[in-house]
């Protein structure tokens, strides 16, 4: 890992929760990136990752339905942008938001989905999900969440997700996991799309794993020793 | 054009200045899209269009240099985002802003470029440009500009651009053109990237012509009878 020869490919680094929060703070405070800007480009990249692992032609249901479950915070914002881009990519996304958000960015992203005629679910029954949707996007909770502090309505939602037969796509981390360690009794996504850098909990992640966030400044990549793999062409995601 | 049979492909519509402004207003006011959000995704798409027409391997200079000239308003904002994405796509963009902007979005996009070590030019000499850059991105003035009202420093910048030998890429419309009609004595870009919908001035545009803005809600596309061509896969641009 300390090898500095040009031929030596250094290992990808998995960030701790503190590092992930610190890096995002720098991006917003020092680089003057905006949350709206990051959310849009990350949501687009997450939808693109989904098209790679679950292309339209591979879906089993008669319609290319996807349920996107969006929490009230930043992870849910990326989920809402992802749902909208899935719609543009000709999937049929339905949105479920277990809790109203007081965040104006979240509210604007909701209006965009509503005005673009994306349907919203008002409840989340396991049987209906398995029957009606090809996959479920989990954008409920992000790495800043303390798993022990998670209460209702999220514990109920996570329990429902754990009981599903259809594949789950988690954005950034699987909701309910501690960002610093993997979980054996939490939800078990088929696809994980890490945002900007993978978190420690994904170190031995067994499913498909993609990285979104190609815009990350090279200086920050170096500062956090990320050793990200090369994105090809103009691709917004890369498989890890 | 009035043919409603499914097999009849209706003609692409070129928006008047008034229609273009009205459509953008609806997008911001009724759909709650944010300028930061639109700028980021459009800037990314413009950079993607450039990679298609001027791929890295095709550039003649020893380094993949690009000069991006950004005005103080919305067109310049997209130019700044485009410059940053060109940097991510491994071009070497240099930015020139002929006039300081009082727009906070413009200022934030400048900080992003500065912090990501994109160089800025302080002047614009024709000879140096032909010598040093493979191409010039024109993000100076948008369709909302009245050509007759354009004064310094822009008239000088446009005169320099008209004298260039290296190809020009214009974003949305060629700067200095009236959005409603084509111009024979203005600048003459090799590539035009229309944003969201082509404007009337591009009706008989002789160069390469791409469209960016795939996120445009289908309802708005129908309301303005745009008849946009189909974007393929997850592509953010389509050739017109």
B47:A111 CB<8 A: no
Tens-place pLDDT, residues B136-184: 999 999 998 888 888 999 999 999 999 999 999 999 999 999 999 888 7
Asked if A228 and A216 count as a contact pair (C-beta separation under 8 A), the reply is yes
The pTM for the full model equals 0.93
SS3 of residue A172 by DSSP: coil
Q: Which residues of B touch A56 (CB under 8 A)?
A: none
pLDDT bracket for residue B1 (50, 70, 90): very low
Asked if B64 and B134 count as a contact pair (C-beta separation under 8 A), the reply is yes
From the centroid of its chain, how far is CA A49?
A: 10
pLDDT value at A3 more than 90? no
Nearest alpha carbon to residue A215 among B84, B153, B204: B84
pLDDT value at B4 more than 50? no
Give the sign of the dihedral formed by CA B147, CA B150, CA B156, CA B160.
negative
- For residue B7, what pLDDT is reported? 47
From the centroid of its chain, how far is CA A74?
A: 10
- For residue A196, what pLDDT is reported? 96
Which pair of structure tokens corresponds to residue B141?
């003035």
CA distance A77 to A86: 14
- For residue B22, what pLDDT is reported? 95
- For residue A56, what pLDDT is reported? 97
Distance from CA of A112 to the nearest CA of B (A): 5
Give me the residues of A, 12-31, that contact B with CB < 8 A: 30-31
Pick the residue with more confidence: A79 or B10? A79
SS3 of residue A135 by DSSP: strand
Asked if A132 and A162 count as a contact pair (C-beta separation under 8 A), the reply is no
- For residue B182, what pLDDT is reported? 84
**Any bridge partners for residue B238, and if so which?**
B211
Mean pLDDT over residues A210-215, rounded?
95
Query: How far from B73 is each of A13, A65, A107, B77, B89, CA to CA, in Å?
Result: 39, 40, 27, 6, 25
- For residue A204, what pLDDT is reported? 87
Tens-place pLDDT, residues B38-94: 999 999 999 999 999 999 999 999 999 999 999 999 999 999 999 999 999 999 999
- Residue A31 has its nearest CB partner, among B32, B112, B219, at B112
> How many CB atoms are located within 10 Å of the residue B239 CB?
12
Residue with tokens 């009606």: A132
CA distance A173 to A126: 22
Q: How many CA atoms lie within 13 A of B221 on its CB side?
A: 16
**Any bridge partners for residue B135, and if so which?**
B66
- Residue A40 has its nearest CB partner, among B30, B41, B217, at B41
pLDDT value at A39 more than 50? yes
- Residue B31 has its nearest CB partner, among A32, A88, A112, at A112
Query: How far from A220 is each of A60, A135, B40, B204, CA to CA, in Å?
Result: 41, 34, 19, 45
CA distance B201 to B89: 30
B108:A33 CB<8 A: yes
Tens-place pLDDT, residues B191-237: 999 999 999 999 989 999 999 999 999 999 999 999 999 999 999 99
CA distance B234 to A49: 10
- ipTM value of the model? 0.91
- For residue A147, what pLDDT is reported? 86
A88:B233 CB<8 A: no
Q: Which residues of A touch B234 (CB under 8 A)?
A: 47-48, 51, 89
Distance from CA of B26 to the nearest CA of A (A): 11
pLDDT bracket for residue A126 (50, 70, 90): confident
Mean pLDDT over residues A43-59, rounded?
98
Q: Which residues of A touch B36 (CB under 8 A)?
A: 34, 36-37, 40
Nearest alpha carbon to residue A73 among A109, A47, A37: A109
Give the number of residues written for chain A. Answer: 240
The three-state (H, E, C) secondary structure of chain B, written as one string: CCCCCCCCCCCCCCECHHHHHHHHHHHHHCCCCCHHHHHHHHHHHHHHHHHHHCCHHHCCCCCCEEEEEECCCHHHHHHHHHHHHHHHCCCEEEEECCCCCCCHHHHHHHHHHHHCCCCECCCCCHHHHHHHCCEEEEECCCCCCCHHHCCCCHHHHHHHHHCCCCCEEEECCCCCCCCCCCCCCCCCCCEEEEECCCEHHHCCCCCEEEEECCCCCHHHHHHCCCCCCCCCCCCCEEEC
Nearest alpha carbon to residue A15 among A198, A205, A218: A198
Q: Which of A28, A35, A40, A222 to mutate to test the interface with B (most CBs of B within 10 A)?
A: A40
Q: Which residues of A touch B108 (CB under 8 A)?
A: 32-34
Distance from CA of A128 to the nearest CA of B (A): 28
Mean pLDDT over residues A9-20, rounded?
90
pLDDT above 70 covers a percentage of chain A that reads: 96
Tens-place pLDDT, residues A166-205: 999 999 999 999 999 888 788 999 999 999 999 999 998 9
């Amino acid at each position: 890992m300390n090898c500095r020869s040009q031929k030596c490919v250094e290992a990808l680094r998995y960030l701790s929760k503190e590092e992930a929060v610190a890096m995002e703070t720098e991006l917003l405070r020092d680089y003057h990136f905006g949350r709206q800007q990051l959310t849009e480009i990350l949501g687009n990249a997450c939808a693109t990752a989904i098209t790679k692992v679950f292309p339209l032609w591979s879906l089993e249901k008669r319609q290319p339905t996807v349920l996107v479950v969006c929490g009230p915070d930043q992870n849910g914002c990326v989920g809402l942008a992802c749902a909208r881009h899935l719609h543009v990519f000709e999937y049929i996304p339905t949105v479920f938001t277990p809790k109203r958000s007081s965040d104006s960015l979240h509210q604007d992203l909701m209006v965009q989905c509503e005005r673009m005629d994306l349907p919203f679910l008002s409840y989340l029954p396991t049987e209906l999900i398995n029957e009606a949707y090809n996959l479920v996007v989990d954008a409920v909770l992000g790495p800043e969440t303390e798993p022990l502090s998670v209460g209702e309505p999220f514990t109920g939602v996570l329990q429902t997700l754990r009981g599903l037969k259809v594949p789950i796509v988690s954005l950034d981390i699987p909701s309910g996991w501690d960002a610093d360690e993997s979980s054996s009794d939490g939800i078990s996504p088929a696809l994980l799309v890490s945002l900007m850098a993978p978190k420690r909990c994904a170190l031995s992640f067994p499913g498909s794993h993609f990285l979104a966030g190609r815009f990350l400044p090279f200086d920050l990549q170096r500062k956090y020793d990320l050793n990200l793999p090369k994105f090809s062409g103009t691709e917004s995601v890369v498989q890890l």
